[in-house]
Amino acid sequence: MKNFLLIAILAIYSSACLCQSAPKPYGPLPTKAQLNWQETEMYCIVHWGPDTYTNKEWGYGDEDPKLIDLKQFDALQIVSAAKAGGFKGIVVVAKHHDGFCLWPTKTTEHNITKSPYKNGKGDIVREYRQACDKLNMKMGIYCSPWDRNSAIYGKPEYVTNVFRKQITELYTNYGPLFITWFDGANGGDGYYGGAREMRTIDRSTYYDWPNTWAIARKLQPGAAIFGDVGPDVRWLGNEKGEAGETSWETYTPHSPDSTKLPANSFVKSDEGIEGHRDGKYWMPAECDVALRPGWFYHKSEDGKSKSPKELLNLYYKSVGRGACLDLGLSPDQNGRLPIDEVETLRKFGAILRNTFNTNIAQGATLKASNIRGGNAALYGPKMLLDNDRYSYWATDNKVKTPELIIDMHHNKSFNIIRLRENIKLGQRIDSVAIDAWRSGKWKQIATATSIGANKLIRLPQDENTSKVRLRIIKSAACIALSDFGLYKETID
Ligand code: FUL
- Does residue 19 fall inside a structural domain? no
Q: Report pLDDT for 490.
A: 80
- Does residue 265 fall inside a structural domain? yes
Interacting residues of 73 by C-beta distance below 8 A, sequence separation 6+: 117, 124, 127, 331, 334, 335, 336
**CA–CA dist 74, 84 (Å, integer):** 16
Block means of pLDDT (10 residues each) for the chain, 492 residues, are 48 50 97 98 98 97 93 94 98 98 98 96 98 98 98 98 98 98 90 97 88 96 90 90 96 62 51 92 96 98 98 98 98 96 98 97 98 97 97 98 98 98 98 97 98 98 98 98 96 69
Based on the domain organization, do 88 and 182 belong to the same domain? Answer: yes
Based on the domain organization, do 126 and 39 belong to the same domain? Answer: yes
Q: Report pLDDT for 261.
A: 47
pLDDT digit string (tens) for 37-64?
Answer: 999 999 999 999 999 999 999 999 999 9
Based on the domain organization, do 301 and 209 belong to the same domain? Answer: yes
Please list the residues that pair with 486 across neighbouring strands.
Answer: 417
Q: Is the CB of 295 under 6 A from ligand 1?
A: yes
Going by the DSSP 8-state scheme, the letter that residue 123 receives in this structure is -
Q: How many CA atoms lie within 13 A of 489 on its CB side?
A: 19
Q: Is the CB of 51 under 6 A from ligand 1?
A: no
Based on the domain organization, do 393 and 452 belong to the same domain? Answer: yes
Q: Is the CB of 187 under 6 A from ligand 1?
A: no
**CA–CA dist 480, 392 (Å, integer):** 6
183 Cα to the center of ligand 1, angstroms: 7
pLDDT digit string (tens) for 257-300?
Answer: 444 444 444 455 668 899 999 999 999 999 999 999 999 999 99
DSSP states along 404-463: EEEEEEEEEEEEEEEEEE-GGG---EEEEEEEEEETTEEEEEEEEE--TT-EEEEEEEEE
pTM above 0.85, yes or no: yes
Q: Is the CB of 288 under 6 A from ligand 1?
A: yes
Last residue of a domain, one of 330, 356, 382: 356
- Does residue 12 fall inside a structural domain? no
Based on the domain organization, do 328 and 401 belong to the same domain? Answer: no
Q: Report pLDDT for 263.
A: 43
Neighbours of 471 (CB within 10 A): 17
Q: Report pLDDT for 459.
A: 97
Based on the domain organization, do 336 and 369 belong to the same domain? Answer: no
**CA–CA dist 369, 379 (Å, integer):** 13
- Does residue 18 fall inside a structural domain? no
Based on the domain organization, do 337 and 454 belong to the same domain? Answer: no
Based on the domain organization, do 96 and 202 belong to the same domain? Answer: yes
Q: Report pLDDT for 346.
A: 98
Based on the domain organization, do 177 and 116 belong to the same domain? Answer: yes
Q: Which atom of ligand 1 is nearest to the CA of 144?
A: 7
Residue 54 amino acid letter: T
CATH number of 463's domain: 2.60.120.260
Q: Report pLDDT for 262.
A: 46
Based on the domain organization, do 181 and 325 belong to the same domain? Answer: yes
Q: How far is CA 437 from CA 13, 117, 360, 368, 389, in A?
A: 40, 64, 16, 16, 27
Based on the domain organization, do 257 and 180 belong to the same domain? Answer: yes
Quick check: 249 and 322 in contact, CB under 8 A? yes
Last residue of a domain, one of 313, 338, 356: 356
DSSP states along 132-165: HHHHT-EEEEEE-S--SS-TTTTSHHIIIIIIHH
- Does residue 467 fall inside a structural domain? yes
CATH number of 322's domain: 3.20.20.80
Q: Report pLDDT for 267.
A: 54
Q: Is the CB of 98 under 6 A from ligand 1?
A: no
Mutate to test the pocket of ligand 1, among 183, 234, 235 (most ligand atoms within 8 A of CB): 183
- Does residue 26 fall inside a structural domain? no
Q: Report pLDDT for 260.
A: 47
pLDDT digit string (tens) for 141-177?
Answer: 999 999 999 999 999 999 999 999 999 999 999 999 9
User: How many domains are contained in the chain?
Assistant: 2
- The parent domain of residue 237 ranges over 32-356
Based on the domain organization, do 230 and 198 belong to the same domain? Answer: yes
Last residue of a domain, one of 318, 338, 356: 356
Q: Is the CB of 63 under 6 A from ligand 1?
A: no
**CA–CA dist 421, 450 (Å, integer):** 10
Q: How many CA atoms lie within 13 A of 443 on its CB side?
A: 11
3-state class (DSSP) for residue 352: helix
3-state class (DSSP) for residue 230: coil
Residue 147 amino acid letter: D
